[in-house]
Structures are given as structure tokens and as C-alpha cells.
Structure 1
Amino acid sequence: MSSSAPLTPRSSPLTPRLLDPGFELTLRPMRYPRFYEMYRNAIRNTWTVDEIDFQIDSSDLHHKMSPADRHLIHRLVAFFATGDSIVSNNLVLNLYQHLNAPEARMYLSRQLYEEALHVQFYLTLLDNYLPDPGERAKAFAAVENIPSIRKKAEFCFKWIDSLQDLRRIETRDQRMQFLLNQICFAACIEGLFFFAAFAYVYYFRSRGLLPGLASGTNWVFRDESCHMEFAFECVRTVRAEEPDLFDERMKAQVYRMLEEAIDCELQFAEDVLSGGVAGISTRDMRQYLQHCADQHFAKLGMEKRYNVRNPLPFMELQDVQELTNFFERRVSAYQVGVQGEVSFDVAF
């Protein structure tokens, strides 16, 4: 077979689909080379927490920020302390076992490493921003004692639990259930909850504050953007293989899901901005979340619902800096190259 063959999944009656039951083990012939490319790109985006310097952040927290600013930051790191662990649990318990393609599972393995790295980053944040052990303990228990964070966690757990006991996908309803979980974690958890959190970080960066937090968040932002793209690519692949799954009932559920996620995030916004943070408001955050939701609807081939512009100019700049020509640039001084090439259409 020519090496110039298009990099698209091969289909035949004998070729398993992405959500078919089973656990295919061999990478040859490779059915989904796009997933393997994503895995290789993720390796190129390697970074470590040790590179981040929080010394200026500590000074900013104590001398340049208002009580309202500090309340926002304390709530933010409390959310970060548990958010990526929730995502990791979903990867292990619900997604890995059902994606029947070894190249897709390679990417999920890399994503799991990145989620652990994010947890380490947020742990380091807590150690630096909340030196008092009692305050740190409260932050780690945020799911139990901070209502605005508990509401977001309950939303996440609802979708984790929807697949928790599913050991084998066999029916159309189970396939739809899996798709909804994947869409929730791409469009809602990572695409709304985390992107809203990043907006707060970059708001402080626009004021010249907390450069350590902003530096680490740059790398997390890139990781999460790739996680979202992988999840949306899985959804696109399943839709191409089984177009009847994404019917009007499914679309209605997705619209309701994102509306609920926006409501959860707005309760968090009301909490973190309750002290009156100059330059950003709950109205801004509502419109930003709606703008993000519309981008996710477009990725899913659905009609936009809100048709609003991004009200946060510093996030427009962030989109340009971090997402344009993503891997053609060296955004950080620390970037590991990958050697060697793989031919996608070679059989054993």
C-alpha cells in the first residue's frame, strides 16, 4: 500500500469501530492515526513544575492584592486542588476501557500523566499561596465545605456515575451515554470550568500580577486544549462511524448539559467575585462562558445558541498566543523533541 494513502480510518465489516466491545491490542495496521499524532504532539509539550518560580507571586499576594483579590485566588486554588483529580478518575474508570483502539489509549495514558502533573502544580500552588496548614486543609476539603465548588463537583460526579458500572458498551443507548460523558468532560469540565478558571488567572496577569501562576497556567492551558481536541476528535470519529447516534434527542441533551454547566460556573463566579474585584464581573463571566459554549457547539456541528462575543480581551490575546500555530512555535524554553517517524499504513 502506498505511503501516500490518506490518513483516515479504514472501514470494513471486519474492522471494529471505536466503541465496539473488546480491547484491540495491536497498532498495526493503525486505524486512527490522528490519535497517534496527538500522542506524539503531547510528548513534545513536556514541562515540569520545578521550572516555575513563585517568589514574586508571594510578594504580590501580600503587598499588591486586595482582600477581594486574595479571596478569588484562594477559591481558585481550592477548585484546582480537586478538579484535575476528578478528570483523572473519569479517564481511568470510564474512558480508557471503552475506546477500542490502542492509539487512542496511548493518548489517554499520556493525558493521565499530564493530569497528575497538573495536580502536582496545584499542590505546589497551595503550599506557596496558603502556608497555613489549616487553610490548606480547608482548600483540599473544598468539595465538602465550599458550596460553589461542591456544586461543580456534583455536576462532574453525575456524569462519572452515569458510566461507573458500565463494563461493556453493547447497545445504542450505551453508546449515546458514552458520547454524553465525553462531551461533558470536553465541553463542560475542561471547556467551561477550567477555561473560566484560566480567565481569572489571565485577568491577574493582565494586571502584572502572579507571574508564577500565569507561567504554569500557560502549560496547563496547552495541555487542556489538547485534551479537549482529543475528546472532540473521539466524538467526531464515533459520529462518522455511527451517524445515527447524534440525533435530535442527543443534541437537546447537549444543549441542556452546557446550560447546566454555565449555571454551576456562574455560582462559582458569584462566590469568587463577591468582594468586588475591579475589572471583571459576573456579567463578563456569563458572556465569556456563553461564548465558549458556542465554540463547543460549533465543534460538535451544532447551531450556536448565544451568539455573543468574547468580553475578555486578555483571553482573546491568550487564544492567539496559545492556540495559533500550536506546535510550530517554541512557546516555552522547555520543549522536548520526538525523534523517528511512523508509517501509518504499514501492516505486520
Structure 2
Amino acid sequence: MRYPQFYEMYRDAIRNTWTVEEVDFAPDVQDLALKLGPAEKHLVQRLVAFFATGDSIVANNLVLNLYRHINAPEARMYLSRQLFEEALHVQFYLTLLDAYLPDPAERARAFAAVENIPSIRAKAEFCFRWIDSIHALERLETPADRRRFLLNLACFAACIEGLFFFAAFAYVYYLRSRGLLHGLASGTNWVFRDESAHMAFAMAVLKTAREEEPTLCDAAWAADVDRMLDEAVAVEYAFAEDVLSGGMAGLSLKDMREYLDYVADQRRVQLGLKAKTGAKNPFPFMDLQDVQELTNFFERRVSAYQVGVEGEVAFDEAF
């Protein structure tokens, strides 16, 4: 086995399996009816519209580009599992749509967000531009081809999964910090864990490619990644202007911009680049984002369970 780390990532993913049926949206429906004001409802509507299309875009890139060119068997095992998880996320968001938007016309408008909501259309166009940039590549024959592929992978990991979705998670956890939409937050804990693992895998593939062919990620490639992240932050900030247009106590545009710069700097470091802005995380509620071991006071169960028990189990050992 040439890349055992990818096989271990696959095994870890198998052990951490969850189902959408375990998420209870009943409290959320009550919150939407009784507790959310116009500004919060606008935020939720925009989030739902983004979620309706976001993971489908990710799954398309996974199938059309990544699986085609990342051909180590261990890596493809992980990618196959990742595709299952993306399908699970799509199911989660479809179930969310059914719960939040019972009216078919409202659901149709959410699915049409890419065409009808400029801030979401801009994010989709950013994604499609990078996905389509290597769609015609049948094989990565030249260093230039491989460099283009690694740019696509960097965009996928750092910008789409690592920035757009992390910003969406921040809105969800902000609502959670106010005691709202616990079902959405509970399911997002699992999605967050999955997306973090997906990003870690993509970063590991990038690191492996750089080690095997160091000339691919030269100064010009790094400059392209830096510009890509700047553009992603600008696109996501425009979405924040839309989402927060009604005003939101404890969630200002200034803080959201700092959070986006902070996340972008984290992605730069993961990609082997230097942090650019030095921004700090302005949201204390994001300290709760990786709740893999503890049950929150409003959750009914731990979201970090693992499926299956491996090895021998004995209860006669001295502690």
C-alpha cells in the first residue's frame, strides 16, 4: 500500500457514520413560527438556498474531476466514501427544506437561488469557473496540466469546502448560541465533522503531490492560490452583506469580514503559504464548533459516536 494515510482516512470515515433520520427538526419548526424575527428569517432563507445547491456542486466536482485524476486505489476508496457523505449532506439539506419550507413554491424558489439570488449566483459562478477549468482534461500529461489540477483541488479544499461552508457553519452556530434551530445545529455538527475530514484529505493529497513533484507549486502557483482566496473572501463577504442586511445583534459585517480573513489565513497556512491578514477569530460561539466528544445542553445525543467495535472487548482488566 503506497499511501496508507488515505486508507486510514477511509477507515476513520467508515467508523463515523450518521443518518439524517437521527436529526429532529420539530423544535426548529416551532422556532421558525414563534421565535425568529424578519432578520433571522432572512438569514435562514439565504442559508437554506445556499445549502440547497452547495453540496451538489461539491459532488459534481468530486465525480467529474477529482476521482478521474486522483487514481491511487487508497485515495479512491476515500473519495468513494466522500461521495456517499456528500449524498448524505444533500439528503440532510433536502430534509431541511421539507421541514422549513413546506410550501412547494417556496422550495422551488430555494432551488432556483443560483439563478435568482445574486449573492448565491456569484458563489456558484466562482465554483463553476474552477470546476470547469479542468473539465476538458482527460489525463494530466504535462506539469502544466498537473498544476491546473492542483489549483482546482486547492479551490475545492480551501475556498469551497474550507471557506464557503465554514462561513455557513458560523451562521448556524450563531443561531445556536441564541438557543435557536437546534435541529439544524445538531445535523451541522455531523456535516462539519465530515467537511473537516474532506478538507484534510484534499490537503494531504496536495501535500503528497508537492512532495513528489516540488516544482508544480512554484511562486506563480502560490500567487494564483492567494488571488483565488482573496476572490473567495470577496464573494463570501458579498453573501454576508445580503444575509445580514436586516441587522443582527452579535453578528456584524465587520466581525464577519474578520472571520473570513481569519479562515482564509488558516487555509493559506494549510497550503504551505504564509498568513496574509493576521486576523483573529471574532466569534466566541465558534469555540463550540468541533463538539465531537461532548453533548451540548440542548442536544439529545452525542454527535461523535462511532459505528462498530473492533478487536477484542474485555471487562476484566484492572483500571
Q: What TM-score do the two structures reach when normalised by structure 1?
A: 0.85
| Aligned ranges 1:44-59 → 2 under 5 Å | 44-59=15-30
Work out whether residues 40 and 338 of structure 1, in 8 Å CA contact, stay in contact via their aligned partners in 2: no
The alpha-carbon deviation at position 278 of structure 1 amounts to 1.5
Is the partner of 1:92 in helix, strand or coil? helix
Work out whether residues 47 and 168 of structure 2, in 8 Å CA contact, stay in contact via their aligned partners in 1: yes
Is the partner of 1:96 in helix, strand or coil? helix
Residue among 222, 233, 253 paired with 2:204: 233
The alpha-carbon deviation at position 282 of structure 1 amounts to 1.4
Query: 1:297 is matched by which residue type in structure 2?
Result: R
User: How much identity, in percent, do the aligned residues show?
Assistant: 71
| Aligned ranges 1:74-85 → 2 under 5 Å | 74-85=45-56
Corresponding position of 2:91:
120
Asked if 1:280 corresponds to 2:251, the answer is yes
Query: 1:189 is matched by which residue type in structure 2?
Result: I
Work out whether residues 78 and 142 of structure 1, in 8 Å CA contact, stay in contact via their aligned partners in 2: yes
CA spacing shift, 1:338–1:89, aligned 2, 3 Å = farther
| Aligned ranges 1:142-157 → 2 under 5 Å | 142-157=113-128
Corresponding position of 1:91:
62
CA spacing shift, 1:111–1:338, aligned 2, 3 Å = farther
Corresponding position of 1:6:
none
Superposed structure 1 runs of 4+ greater than 2 Å apart: 321-324, 330-335, 337-340
Q: CA separation in 2, counterparts of 1:289 and 1:337?
A: 37
The alpha-carbon deviation at position 318 of structure 1 amounts to 1.8
Asked if 1:217 corresponds to 2:194, the answer is no
Q: What TM-score do the two structures reach when normalised by structure 2?
A: 0.93
Asked if 1:262 corresponds to 2:233, the answer is yes
Query: Unpaired segments of 5 or more residues in structure 2?
Result: 295-300, 312-319
CA spacing shift, 1:323–1:286, aligned 2, 3 Å = farther
The alpha-carbon deviation at position 127 of structure 1 amounts to 0.6
Structure with larger RCO (C-alpha < 8 A, sep 6+): 1
CA RMSD across the alignment: 1.6
Corresponding position of 2:36:
65
Residue among 104, 112, 115 paired with 1:133: 104
Query: Unpaired segments of 5 or more residues in structure 1?
Result: 1-29, 325-329, 341-348
Is the partner of 2:96 in helix, strand or coil? helix
Query: 1:272 is matched by which residue type in structure 2?
Result: V
Q: CA separation in 2, counterparts of 1:66 and 1:242?
A: 54
Q: What is the number of residues matched between the two proteins?
A: 306
| Aligned ranges 1:266-345 → 2 under 5 Å | 266-319=237-290, 321-322=291-292, 331-332=302-303, 334-337=305-308, 339=310
Q: CA separation in 2, counterparts of 1:150 and 1:103?
A: 35
* Structure showing the higher helix proportion among its residues: 2
Query: 2:150 is matched by which residue type in structure 1?
Result: L
The alpha-carbon deviation at position 317 of structure 1 amounts to 2.9
Work out whether residues 239 and 245 of structure 1, in 8 Å CA contact, stay in contact via their aligned partners in 2: yes
